[in-house]
A and B are shown apart, each in its own frame.
Chain A
Amino acid sequence: MTPLSRVLVANRGEIAARIVRACFDEGIESVLAASSVDMESLPARLADRVVCIGPPAPSASYLDVGRIVTAAVATGCDAVHPGYGFLSEQPELARACAENGLVFVGPSIDSLQRGGDKLLARRLARELGIPLSAGSEAVEGVEAGLELAGQVGYPLIVKAAAGGGGRGMRLIEEGTDLAGALEQATSEAREAFGDGRLFIERFVGRARHIEVQVLGDRFGKVVHLGERDCSIQRRYQKLIEEAPAPGLADDLRARLCRDAVRFAEALGYVGAGTVEFLVDVDRDEHFFLEMNTRVQVEHPVTEAVTGVDVVRQQLRIAAGEPLHIDQTDVAARGHAVEFRLTAEDAARDFAPSPGLLSEWVMPAGEGIRVDTHCFPGYTVPPYYDSLLAKLIVWGPDRATALVRADRALAKVRVGGVPTTTDFHRTVVANDDFQAGRVTTRWVETTLLAPVPTMAAVAAPRSN
């Protein structure tokens, strides 16, 4: 075990500030690699040192492996923390670190490839007997189709692999002559698209996005830190996350967490990671979606209910320390909700809007945590994502947490750019959300203007 003495923080914004703080707590020096426009940012001021690696464009700064590694070597770092996004899941950065004698604060190159690649990860999940979600590989012919359908389970969506825009889709319920239906679908696909291959997927009408945080050390020990519910999404972007998942049955929770640990163990996963599942609300079943082989934006809600500092654990694991957390030590206490405050105008289709923050006042108090890189007078640059701050609210139970959340959101004052604060207040006040009744399509189909639902598209064709 070699304690880390200096870490290069290869990221920006709120997560860079978060990593710098964790380094400070661990007694590790931090060096921030920043683009020219981030040299005066909050993380740049918090870090022990900052070096300018390039112009604002990510391709010439945060996404450039050469510049990142050069910065680490030049400043005498022994490790690189990639944060989330950017190069955090790119084997190229992990490889370049290894070639230059730097510890990559993350999993092995093999884990990044096998865990991070969607197809390889699904293959591993299948081998482990973990149920899989929609998104099968294309199959050709009735026999292969029958085999896959057997694995996927009813109800099925069958769609032409070469089709698109909802064309050539049919919903197949249990009891249908599956072989006949597949034959028909194959010949129709061949006629319409010149390609008879099909995707056969499990149809999940009402789904929740539930993910499990795992930690693995270099000695093969893996523990989970419980689950998070991230069903409040818009165009596959998470907006609100909470821990624990409201109303989740204990045995389903246990199955999710057990499968997440099994998956991470099978990879020999080292570091912090998250295994994502889709949960079928109506059928109480879960399906593996993918694994995120990095620390995630929403890690604070797990920290709030478990008391475990995920980023500090990353640093310790990277240094070769064994995990001092046993599974029996892990328990969720209370309830936490995180709201992503972004510089987007919810009234104008969430159009991002960078600019100067003429006013910036964040709430504070018991059970309130704000992770941010913003401050009054800061200019939000146009080159990067629109996340301004994460407001994390904890309460001894969900109802208290939501009351606290509404009060906290009401205290947010941001001038100069639009924010999603009012949108969050609307969600918190909503009955469905209060009752824990939301699904992944809820924001788009219920809260905002309705869009055509799956039911309209998936009606079985009449002959």
Chain B
Amino acid sequence: MIDRKELQQVLEVLSEGGWQHAHIVTPDFTLTLVTPTDGATQAAPPVPLAAITAEPVAAAASPVPQASAPAHLPPVAAPAPAGVSAAVDADVTVVTAPSIGVIWRSPKPGAPPFVEPGQVVAPDDTVCLLEVMKLFTPIKAEVAGRVAALHVDNGDMVQFGTPLLSIEAM
């Protein structure tokens, strides 16, 4: 388990470097950190080590803070909307999008989704597809656990770094 001092050091190094996302995996724990997009230069405040789970990102989250999306377009899920606090929990992994693109939850239209909340997954399991201009890339769980929450809907446009789903260790 990570101790408070080490955690503080990690937070300082990451926030000085202007990082927005960090996912640290060790044999003892998994640490996921997400910086709110407003004020990336602020140091993330230290968080108590009592188990904190990340607030599930509301499906179809609001667009990036700069401007509102035009009414006729589906909103593009932001990389880390305000309201997602730093998830300092050894047990929860947030899978994020590796690129801008469209998320598909099933291998093909009409087929059952790859995963549903509550489902147990292995690291090499595909959890969804990311489409970039007709090129479909499978997104893997990369950890073993249970799907705690889904953060995007089928057909949502996502950006690089957008949280897709949370997987909790069992």
B56 at the interface (CB under 8 A from A): no
6 pairs, A vs B, C-beta closer than 8 Å = A40-B41, A49-B67, A51-B76, A52-B159, A53-B159, A76-B70
**A36 touches which of B41, B69, B76, B160 (Cβ 8 Å):** B160
- Inter-chain contacts of A64 with B (CB < 8 A): 99, 132
Decide: A377 and B99 in contact? CB cutoff 8 A: no
- A75 and B73 in contact (CB under 8 A), knowing A36-B20, A40-B18, A70-B101? yes
Residues of B with C-beta under 8 A to A37: 18
CB distance from A381 to the nearest CB of B (A): 9
Which residue numbers of A lie inside 8 Å of B, CB to CB?
33, 35-37, 39-40, 44-45, 47-55, 60-61, 64-67, 69-71, 74-76, 96, 100, 377, 379
Dominant secondary structure of chain B at its interface with chain A? loop
Question: Are A53 and B66 touching (Cβ within 8 A)?
Answer: no
Give the secondary structure class of A's interface.
mixed
**Cβ-defined contact, A54 with B73, below 8 A:** no
Report whether B160 and A50 are in contact in the complex, using a CB–CB cutoff of 8 Å: no
Bound complex: CA of A39 vs CA of B78, how far in Å?
11
B119 adjacent to chain A (CB < 8 Å): no
Closest 5 CB pairs of A and B: A66-B133, A52-B159, A66-B132, A53-B100, A52-B160
Check if B24 is an interface residue, CB within 8 A of chain A.
Answer: no
The minimal Cβ–Cβ distance linking B97 to chain A, given in whole angstroms, is 9
Is there a chain A Cβ closer than 8 Å to B37's Cβ? Answer: yes
Question: A-contacting residues of B (Cβ < 8 Å)?
Answer: 18, 20-21, 37, 40-41, 63-64, 66-67, 69-70, 72-73, 76, 79, 98-102, 132-133, 135, 157, 159-162
A-chain residues with CB within 8 Å of residue B37 when the two chains form the complex: 39
Contacts of B159 on A, CB cut-off 8 Å?
Answer: 51-53
A300–B161 CA distance with the chains assembled, in angstroms: 36
In the complex, which residues of chain A have a beta carbon less than 8 angstroms from the beta carbon of B64?
49-52
Given A70-B101, A377-B41, verify A36-B79 contact (CB < 8 Å).
yes
Q: Which residues of A contact B66 (CB under 8 A)?
A: 44-45, 47-50
Indicate if the CB atoms of A52 and B73 lie closer than 8 Å. Answer: no
In the bound complex, residues from chain B placing their C-beta under 8 Å from that of A36 are: 20-21, 79, 160-161
CA distance A114 to B145 in the complex (A): 55
Neighbouring A residues of B135 by C-beta, 8 Å? 66
Q: Which residues in A have their C-beta under 8 angstroms from that of B73?
A: 74-76
A54-B160, A67-B99, A74-B157 are contacts. A96–B63 as well, Cβ < 8 Å?
no
Given contacts A50-B66, A53-B160, contact A75 B99 (CB under 8 A): no
State how many angstroms separate the Cβ of B153 from the closest Cβ of chain A. Answer: 15
Residues of the B chain whose Cβ atoms lie less than 8 Å from the Cβ of A100? 133
A80 to chain B, nearest CB (A): 13
Given contacts A40-B18, A51-B76, 7 further A-B contacts (CB under 8 A): A36-B160, A39-B20, A50-B64, A54-B99, A55-B160, A61-B160, A74-B100
> When chains A and B are docked, how far (Å) is the Cα of A33 from the Cα of B132?
14
Across the interface, which residues of A come within 8 angstroms of B100, CB to CB?
33, 51-54, 67, 70-71, 74
B68 — nearest CB in chain A belongs to which residue? A49
B18 touches A96 (CB 8 A): no
A51 and B37 CA atoms in complex are apart in Å by 12
List the A side residues contacting B21 at CB < 8 Å. 36
Min CB distance B86 to A, Å, is 17
Query: How far is A39 from B157 in the complex, measured between Cα atoms in Å?
Result: 18
Hey, which chain A residues are within 8 Å of B160, CB to CB? 35-36, 52-55, 61
**Min CB–CB distance B21 → chain A (angstroms):** 8
Using Cβ atoms and an 8 Å threshold, which residues of chain B touch A40? Answer: 18, 40-41
**Chain A residues near B18 (CB-CB < 8 A):** 37, 40, 379
| Closest residue of B by beta carbon distance from A73 | B133
Distance in angstroms from B61 CB to nearest chain A CB is 13
Bound form: Cα–Cα A155–B90 in Å = 74
Q: Is the CB of A70 within 8 A of B133?
A: yes
In the assembled complex, the CB of A24 is this many whole angstroms from the nearest CB of chain B, namely 13
Residues of A within 8 A of B20 (CB): 36, 39
Chain B residues closer than 8 Å to A51, beta-carbon distance: 64, 76, 100, 159
The smallest C-beta distance from B118 to any residue of chain A, in angstroms, reads 30
- A21, chain B: closest CB distance, angstroms: 16
Q: CA–CA, A377 to B37, complex, Å?
A: 17
Task: Name the residue among A33, A36, A377 with the largest chain B CB count within 10 angstroms.
Answer: A36
The docked-state distance in angstroms from the alpha carbon of A385 to that of B150 is 38
Quick check: B99 and A69 within 8 Å, CB to CB?
Answer: no
Closest to A71 in B: B100
